[in-house]
Structure 1
Amino acid sequence: MPLLQFDLIQGRSADEVKTLLNVAHEAVLTAFKVPERDRYQIVHENPAHFMVFQDTGLGFERSNKLVVVRVFTSPRSEEQKTLFMKILAEAFAEKCGIEVRDLFISFVTNSKGDWSFGFGEAQYLTGTL
């Protein structure tokens, strides 16, 4: 955990998506110090007209390489969250050719009891994890 959901505008190749997911996982490992196999990612591809993401008055335009990332996680420190944002933006720019203005990140925080990794069991509550 965390669970990352990505919304992308249609048109990326399978290799581009695979690279994007690998880069995002590296950012999770670095910022949140989770185990290597703590990897949960979902990609949604959308027609461009289904995604409207403006700039909240910050004065920039986004391109069709827009990536929206929702991070579902138990509470993380502000330091961890800002580190994740910085690492992800830099890595997407360097390894995926995604401009930093084309990355939108939102955190959705929940508690340990909100997670079941299988078997209908809340592993954090039962002590399995």
Structure 2
Amino acid sequence: MPFVRIDLIRGRRPDEVRAIADATHQALLDVLDIPERNRFQIITEHDADHVIALDAGLGFERSDRLVMIQIFTQSGRTTEVKQRLFHTIAEQLEPLGISGEDVFIGIVENGPQDWSFGFGRAQYTEGDLAVPGR
């Protein structure tokens, strides 16, 4: 059950924003094999001068088409799966006019005890939901 935050530079049309969210979710479905309704996304648009994303010394420039994605998910996925997810997200965003240098992704992992889906309860640890991958 990933929780995804997508940060964009302000200026895209609403249909473009939705297409980015849809493409990101499709990559999660394809690679992580999650249920389709496990969709939890927050999309935030920022003024251009409120986003700083350099190249970390890799030798490329980013544009105002930058998409920064944080994926909060349960631990346990292999490095290979994460790399495939990174690749698939970038591949899904490319037809939307977002080039590879403008795709920045980070994964934050935690455990089933760290999630509440409502009512102030921990549904994984209380047994209401099956823990993914177990």
Instruction: Give the structure-2-normalised TM-score.
Output: 0.93
Identity across the alignment (%):
45
Deviation at residue 77 of structure 1 after TM alignment: 1.8
Find the counterpart in structure 2 of residue 38 from structure 1: 38
**Match of residue 122 from structure 2:** 122
What is the Cα deviation at residue 4 of structure 1? 0.5
CA distance in 2, matches of 1:6, 1:22: 11
Quote the residue 1:107 is aligned against.
Answer: 107
CA distance in 1 between partners of 2:35 and 2:89 (Å): 18
Q: Output the CA distance in 1 between the equivalents of 2:80 and 2:115.
A: 23
Structure 2, unpaired ranges of 5+? 130-134
What secondary structure sits across from 2:69 in the alignment? strand
The CA deviation at 1:31 is 1.1
TM-score normalised by the chain length of structure 1: 0.96
Residues 72-81 or 49-58, more deviating: 72-81
- Structure 2 matches for 1:1-129, cutoff 5 A? 1-75=1-75, 76-94=77-95, 96-129=96-129
Runs of 4+ in 1 over 4 A off after TM superposition: none
Q: Structure 1: any 5+ residue segments left out of the alignment?
A: none
User: What is the Cα deviation at residue 8 of structure 1?
Assistant: 0.4
3-state SS, counterpart of residue 55 of structure 2: coil
Counting matched residue pairs gives 128
SS of 1:49's equivalent in the other structure is helix
* CA–CA distance in structure 1, aligned partners of residues 17 and 55 of structure 2: 24
Q: Which moved more, 1:72-81 or 1:104-113?
A: 72-81
Q: RMSD across aligned C-alpha pairs, in angstroms?
A: 0.7
